[in-house]
Amino acid sequence: MSISKVAVIGAGTMGNGIAHVFAQYGYPVVLIDISDDQLANALATIEKNLARQIKKGTIQESDKEKTLKNITTGNYIPGNVGEADLIVEAATENEALKLKIFKEVDASAKPGVILASNTSSISITKIASVTTRPERVIGMHFMNPVPMMKLVEVISGYHTDKSVVDEITELSKALDKVPCVVEDYPGFIANRILMPMINEAVYSLHEGVTGVEEIDTIMKLGMAHPMGPLQLADFIGLDVCCSILNVMYEGFRNPKYAPCPLLVNMVTAGNLGKKTGKGFYDYTGGGKELVVNSIFKK
C-alpha cells in the first residue's frame, strides 16, 4: 500500500478513536481540530484507553509509548494535511460542515491522496462532488468505540475508483478490522437496518406498548443483542439517530424512515442520551447501573 502518513480531522469520540487505531498500528497521525481543549481531551482519552488495553493484556507498555509518539496535533487544515497519504474526516454528522471541510482539504492536499469520510449516513457522492478528485473520495465508517469494534463499512461513491476501494479494504485489514464494501445509498447498510429498528423501539414506547426496560430486555434476551435498542440509541446520541433517520427519509422519501415524534421531542428538549446525562436512561448517577429516566417510569 502507498499509505504511510495519515491525517484525521475532528478530535471528538470518533476522531480520537480513529487516530488511536492508526497510531497503534504504526502510522504517523496528525489529529486536527479547531479546539485546543478538544485536542487535549482527545489525547487524554487515547492515553486512558491505551492504559485500559495494557490492563486487559492486549498491548504492552512499550506499545502505548509508540502509539502516543505517532500522534501529533494541529488546529488548521492547511499546513497539516499536505504530507498525508490518507485524510479521514471525522467531524460532526452535519452535511454543510463536511462539505466545507472537504473543499478545504481538496485545496490543501497533495495529488494522489485518498480523502475518506467517517460519515454514518451522508452521501459520499455528494461529499465528493465538492472536490476536484471525486475518484479519490471514499467512505470509511468506523464503529464506536473504534479501538474495540472490528467493523469498517467501506462506502464506494458514484465516482470512487476501484483501486481506492481495494486500497482502503486492505488498509482496514492491516488495522485488524473487518471491512465490508457497500454502495452509496442513504444510511448505507449498518444504519439502514439499525435506525429503523431503533425508531420502531421508540414508537413502541411512544404508543405505550411497553416500557423502556421491557423493550431492551426483550431484544437482549430474545434476539441475543448485547445491548437493547433504546440503550444503544442513548449511547449513539439521540440527535445522531434523529439526523440519520432524516437523511434516509429525505433520500428515499419513504415515511417509514421518519423519526418518531417522541425522538424528535427528546432531541429538541436536549435529552440526547449518555452524553447529556439523560435519554431513555438517566446517567447522572455515574452510569454504573442503568436507571430508567423518570419521565418513562410507569
Q: What is the pLDDT of residues 249-289, one digit of tens each?
A: 999 999 999 999 999 999 999 999 999 999 999 999 876 67
Which 8-state DSSP code applies to residue 89? E
User: Please, which residues have CB within 8 angstroms of residue 55's CB and are 6 or more apart in sequence?
Assistant: none
Q: What is the CATH number of domain 6-183?
A: 3.40.50.720
143 close to 191: Cβ distance less than 8 angstroms: no
Percentage of the residues of the chain whose pLDDT score is greater than 70: 99
The C-alpha cell 411512544 sits at 206
Average pLDDT of the residues of the chain? 96
pLDDT for 1 beyond 80? no
Domain spanning 192-296, CATH class: mainly alpha
**Residue 176: burial class (beta carbons within 10 Å; 0-12, 13-18, 19+):** exposed
pLDDT for 48 beyond 60? yes
Q: What is the pLDDT of residues 164-173, one digit of tens each?
A: 999 999 999 9
Same fold? 6-183, 192-296: no
**Greatest CA separation for the chain:** 60
Q: How many CB atoms lie within 10 A of CB 181?
A: 17
The pairing of strands 291-292 and 281-282 is: antiparallel
Residue 263, C-alpha cell as written in the block: 425522538
Q: Closest by alpha carbon to 140, among 124, 125, 128? A: 124
List active site positions: 120, 141, 153, 191
Instruction: Quote the pTM value.
Output: 0.93
Q: What is the pLDDT of residues 85-139, one digit of tens each?
A: 999 999 999 999 999 999 999 999 999 999 999 999 999 999 999 999 999 999 9
- By mean pLDDT, which of 38-42, 74-78, 258-262 is the weakest? 74-78
268 close to 242: Cβ distance less than 8 angstroms: no
Domain ranges of the chain: 6-183, 192-296
